[in-house]
Amino acid sequence: MPRLEPRAEASQAMRFAAPLVALLVTAGITACLMFGFGRDPVDGMRVFFVVPLESARGLAEIGLKMTPLLLCALGLALCYRANIWNIGAEGQLLAGSIAATGMALSIGPGNSHVAGLLVVIAGAAGGALWAGLTALLRDRWNANEILVSLMLTYVAQLMVLYLVNGPWRDPAGMNFPVTRMFDAAASVGAIVPPYRLNWGFVVALVAAAFGWVFLFRSRIGYRLQVSGNAPLAARFAGFSEREGIWVSLLICGTLAGLAGAFEVAGPLGQLTAQVSTGYGFAAIIVAWLGRLTPLGCVLASFVMSLIVIGGELSQSRLGLPGAITMVLQGVLLLALLSADTFVNYRIRWR
């Protein structure tokens, strides 16, 4: 009978192979779902994984989805390396979108060249402030950051609903829960019109490059990683636990707030009740699929965006239900967690 036996040391080969195995398992289950819905699995797989890559518009849409996923995943990867279990990137993204919207609505019409920059900075500050609440409660009263960050996400969602249904509601919005459209000066422009991909994508890639330098070429990044991997050794070396809490959460909140700002000031152009489709939660999968490294997060966010765009195409072209995207994201996470088991364990037959 087979049984799991602990390895003497973690398998580096399985550490890098596990994401590939998880992707193959997800692709196989996707084909099975296509067959179960009475669709041709080959045609369904093509719609999911090939059609979005066949046109410039499809690539631009993938990049547009990558922006919030990558920004949130970079911050979460830093938190998890520091052993800070932040689950509230979604709430920090929403807080950033609220702050960015408040700045955009207060600027009013005009041709200021710094209006868009002010909107983005406000979004980053809003996300950092929201993450700072979690850091404060963890640092001051040792509250569990998992519960605090998750509960604050629901508070941020209710705040968005209140604002778009109340004081910020557009009087000319035909009774829909939306704010008025941002002025052009307060928006983030597209890189190559008429495609919707905006400069937030470039900022996300630059953030990934800086994230690599921060993690692997800076003293504070080294201290954060030691505190996460070996807390006792970190205390013996005199590394501050408070530093890990505040730095990791504030950076994560800033990046998630940027993601929210680029959403409302970019493709949406306004704050809506559905400003986020779960980017902050999906970014948790992206961070682990990318092995908590900046380069890995870039590749994983591309894969996740491909699944999202493929899911949207499967609805319009194959008539599949809209929930299939969420199903595949869950399958990908479960497959990754299962494959990760074999990093520290191996099968023995007896």
Per-residue pLDDT of the chain in tens (350 residues, 90 and over written 9): 778 888 888 888 888 889 999 999 999 998 898 888 888 888 888 988 899 999 999 999 999 999 999 999 999 999 999 999 999 999 999 999 999 999 999 986 665 778 899 999 999 999 999 999 999 999 999 999 999 999 999 999 999 999 999 999 999 888 899 999 998 889 998 998 889 999 999 999 999 999 999 999 999 999 999 988 888 888 888 888 899 999 999 999 999 999 999 999 999 999 999 998 899 999 999 999 999 999 999 999 999 999 999 988 988 888 888 888 888 888 998 999 898 888 888 888 77
Q: Which two tokens stand for residue 270?
A: 């306004």
Distance of alpha carbon 308 from its chain centroid, rounded?
13
Q: Which residue from 204, 201, 247, 188 is spatially nearest to 71, judged by alpha carbons?
A: 204
Q: What is the DSSP string of 291-339?
A: TT-HHHHHHHHHHHHHHHHHHHHHHHHH---TTHHHHHHHHHHHHHHHH
Spatial separation of the C-alpha atoms in residues 265 and 104, rounded to whole Å: 8
Q: Does the predicted model carry a pTM greater than 0.85?
A: yes
Please state the φ and ψ torsions of residue 55, each to the nearest 5 degrees: -135, 160
Q: Which two tokens stand for residue 62?
A: 């993938």
